[in-house]
Amino acid sequence: MRMTRIMYPTAAVCVCLLMLNAPTMAINDRPIIGILSQETYIVRYLFPGRQYDSFISASYVKFLESAGARVVPIWIGQTEAYYRRVVNYTNGLLFPGGGTYFNETGGYGEAATYLYKIALEYNNKGIYYPIWGTCLGMQALMYAALNGTKDIRVSCVLRDTALPLNLSSEHRQSPLLSDAPSDVLTILRTENVTYNQHIYCLTAEALSENNLLDDWHILATNTDVNGIEFISAMKHKKFPLHGIQYHPEKNIFEFSRKRKFPHSANSIRASQHVANHIVNECRNNDNSFPDFETEARSLIHNFIPVYTGNASDNHSQLYVFLKKDFENHQLN
């Protein structure tokens, strides 16, 4: 009786088969990121006699463009259907810093809540969709996480101050820090490169009291002038949602003579790492506009930033918008 020899695949072949069956991330080398605009409360003094409806600091646009992304401005005061189109067409979002209220009808907080809800729907379906929040934007993430029902910010004053980060035991739970080159991590931990300018913040206690620590890692902290320990960096435990309290965009693109923005080579390296991380996260999403004309009409390239560095200590350039700009450049 002739025996039949059974051939089993080698370990290498098994690994290859497993890799073929594993889910893969999209690699999008033309990412488009939406930046949420906000009310003009803190910049109105720069435009006497003019009533603009919203603005975006140009430094955020440059920050993303420096890492290879394009930008779409996101209008406040729109419908949920509009914000759903924003998420459908873009590869991620940035909620910028600034100064506004969260409980305004048709305002920044309401828009952030819509966008966060829709992004969560995407991620729960297995579609990788990142959101990044800076300063006010990180605080808005928590407002949105509570469904726009509660502002849990606390008074927390740290003005015009650059610090190193106090990394927590959870800091390696985020690729922002776990994948950082060793020299960048050393810079962040030991040098005054993270610029703070705020009067509100988030604390571990506030997150705990609102049952948010089940969903969020605290990656780093700092202490304000009154000894309050606040959250400097955080990440959602399941989804690509990040927030930081400090301003990496200012290191590279703001040059006020009255502010202590860090401009050392190391501060630029640390900030560029953040920009690269944000854009690389968005490369993992392959959403796209329905056609070239809609995409072209929606880009920030359709607008000209206004030079404000002669009058503002915080913003060298601003994009300012009127309601009619939405009508002319809306996402159909």
What pLDDT was estimated at residue 329? 77
- The alpha carbons of the chain give a radius of gyration, in whole angstroms, of 21
CA atoms 96, 303, 103, 237: torsion sign: negative
Instruction: Domain 28-329: state its class.
Output: alpha beta
Q: pLDDT tens across 182-229, in order? A: 999 999 999 999 999 999 999 999 999 999 999 999 999 999 999 999
Whether the pLDDT of residue 13 is over 80: the answer is no
Whether the pLDDT of residue 3 is over 70: the answer is no
Please give the average per-residue pLDDT across 111-136, as a whole number.
Answer: 98
| Three-state DSSP state, 81 | helix
Give catalytic status of residue 282 as yes or no. Answer: no
Distance CA 280, CA 237 (A): 19
Distance CA 26, CA 23 (A): 10
Mean of pLDDT over the chain: 92
Q: What are the DSSP calls for 108-148, one per residue?
A: HHHHHHHHHHHHHHHHHTT----EEEETHHHHHHHHHHTTT
Q: Per the residue annotation, which of 135, 156, 201, 282 is the catalytic one?
A: 135
% the chain with pLDDT above 70: 92
Whether the pLDDT of residue 255 is over 70: the answer is yes
In the chain, where are the structural domains located?
28-329
Whether the pLDDT of residue 22 is over 90: the answer is no
Give catalytic status of residue 135 as yes or no. Answer: yes
Q: pLDDT tens across 66-85, in order? A: 999 999 999 999 999 999 99
149 Cβ contact list (under 8 Å, min separation 6): none
Backbone region of residue 274 per phi and psi (left: phi > 0; alpha: psi in -120 to 50; beta: other values): alpha
Q: Per the residue annotation, which of 171, 198, 242, 247 is the catalytic one?
A: 247
What pLDDT was estimated at residue 18? 39
Give the pLDDT band of residue 14 (cuts 50, 70, 90): very low
> How many C-beta atoms lie closer than 10 Å to residue 299's C-beta?
15
Please give the average per-residue pLDDT across 127-135, as a whole number.
Answer: 98
What pLDDT was estimated at residue 20? 39
> How many C-beta atoms lie closer than 10 Å to residue 2's C-beta?
4
Q: Let me know: does 75 contact 302? Beta carbons within 8 Å.
A: no
Give the pLDDT band of residue 326 (cuts 50, 70, 90): confident
Q: Angle at CA 329, nearest 5°, toward 139 and 57?
A: 40
> Which of 10-24, 59-73, 134-148, 174-188 has the weakest average pLDDT?
10-24
Instruction: Name the pairing type of β-strands 317-321 and 166-167.
Output: unpaired
Nearest CA-CA partner of 306 in 294, 318, 296: 318
What pLDDT was estimated at residue 2? 42
Nearest CA-CA partner of 41 in 330, 246, 309, 320: 320
Q: Let me know: does 43 contact 315? Beta carbons within 8 Å.
A: yes
